[in-house]
Amino acid sequence: MNLPTTITNYLSAHTARDLDAAMQWYAADAVVTDDGTTYRGPDEIRAWLGRAASEYTFTTEFVAARQVDDTTYVATHHLEGNFPGGTVDLDFTFSLNEDLITRLVIAPK
């Protein structure tokens, strides 16, 4: 399926580890949940993105996408790298409002 431009542009920036480009796609009151921790607002999300980009070395392969409802989309990625376990399939569940990400939950598939 075709994901909204907001999500494809965000994922490209996220994969490239371009913090400025990734941050432009978040709403001011956005919330991100990753690995059981929730980050709220631009300062916490930017800090999380910076840590996530430098903590491990890994490759990412987009494997699937689906639309849940009018504002929610799931993009599944396969990761391989030097993190615990070495491989994982992750669902990136996005909630959008007016072409901005209001919520992102990253969890194992």
Q: What is the CATH number of the domain that holds 35?
A: 3.10.450.50
What average pLDDT does the chain have? 93
pLDDT of the residue at 53: 65
pLDDT in tens, 44-94: 999 999 887 677 788 889 999 999 999 999 999 999 999 889 999 999 999
Contacts of 69-78 with CB under 8 Å at 24 or more apart are: 71/95, 71/96, 71/97, 72/96, 73/3, 73/4, 73/7, 75/3, 75/7, 75/11, 76/109
pLDDT in tens, 26-58: 999 999 999 899 999 999 999 999 887 677 788
**Residue 13 scores a pLDDT above 80:** yes
Per the structure, the complete domain to which residue 52 belongs is given by 5-108
Q: In the chain, how many domains are there?
A: 1
Q: Which of 50, 46, 15, 19 is nearest to 30 (CA)?
A: 46
